[in-house]
Amino acid sequence: MDQPTAQLPGGGAMPLLGFGTWQITGSACTDAVRAALDAGYRHLDTATMYRNEAEVGRALAESGVPRDQVFVTTKLPPDRAGSAGPTLDASLAALGVEAVDLWLVHWSTGGDDVALWREFVAARDAGKARDVGVSNFSLAQLDELTEATGVTPAVNQVRWAPALFDPGVLEGHRERGVMLEGYSPFKSTDLADPVLAEVAGAHGVTPAQVVLRWHLDHGVVVIPKSVTPERIAANAEVLSWALTDEERARVDGLGRMTP
């Protein structure tokens, strides 16, 4: 697949379409990740709390796809803030890689996020993560990290879908040079919505594919997950077409319709 990517500060190219692995464990995870790599995905998203890093790493090793062609993300849960370094080392060992492409603070500690962020920057500088970022942070929390350390998170991964569309949040990330990455694209979407159905019909695709393409057309990273090979492949078939400006605006409008 011809992958649209975002350039990150560390020099890495982050594919806008990734494969999420939340709630997928054991052999089902290995099989799903292998299917994703076979379908052309080159971006894998996992986390310490998913308890599947070893399975993701096994699939990557067995796939035959060169390591430098796959963008790998993992995340640190806040309850490991006191042992961030050893937790990252454990993640690297489980994944079977020398470094991850992106390491994220999974969500705010509710305490001293700045101290933890300094550890993330140190891990980046030590070559254990090409880039570092956060997840589930507000714009104000991003600013706090930047103002305290001079280092802006490369990425902020948040829940994102047409029903949650907020142009101010999108623009706020762009102004700060932070890549917005969305998770749970379908969980927050009514795939039976008539707008999505009509747009899908115009392109001969599914409403789910419209949702994924909507992310890409906004320059937002999206990480759908599935354990079904056919659905994994279908989710990847969104790179050969695009929404018109009018269609994208109609899908944007689903956010304003949400109570």
Q: Is 50 a catalytic residue?
A: yes
**Whole-number Å distance between alpha carbons of 108 and 102:** 17
- Pick the catalytic residue from 34, 41, 44, 50: 50
70 closest CA partner among 49, 39, 28 = 39
Are 127 and 10 in contact by the 8 Å Cβ rule? The answer is no
Residue corresponding to tokens 């569309």: 165
131 closest CA partner among 75, 78, 170 = 75
**Whole-number Å distance between alpha carbons of 31 and 16:** 22
46 closest CA partner among 76, 4, 89 = 76
CB contact set of 187 (below 8 Å; sequence gap of 6+) = 161
50 closest CA partner among 19, 88, 24 = 24
Which helix (H) or strand (E) is 187 found in, with range? none
Question: Hey, what are 74's tokens?
Answer: 């993992």
Give the amino acid at 93.
A
Residue corresponding to tokens 């894998």: 44
- The secondary structure of the chain in percent helix, strand, coil, rounded to multiples of 5, reads 50, 15, 35
43 labeled part of a ligand binding site? no
Annotated binding site for substrate: 106
Annotated binding site: 106
Question: Catalytic site residues?
Answer: 50
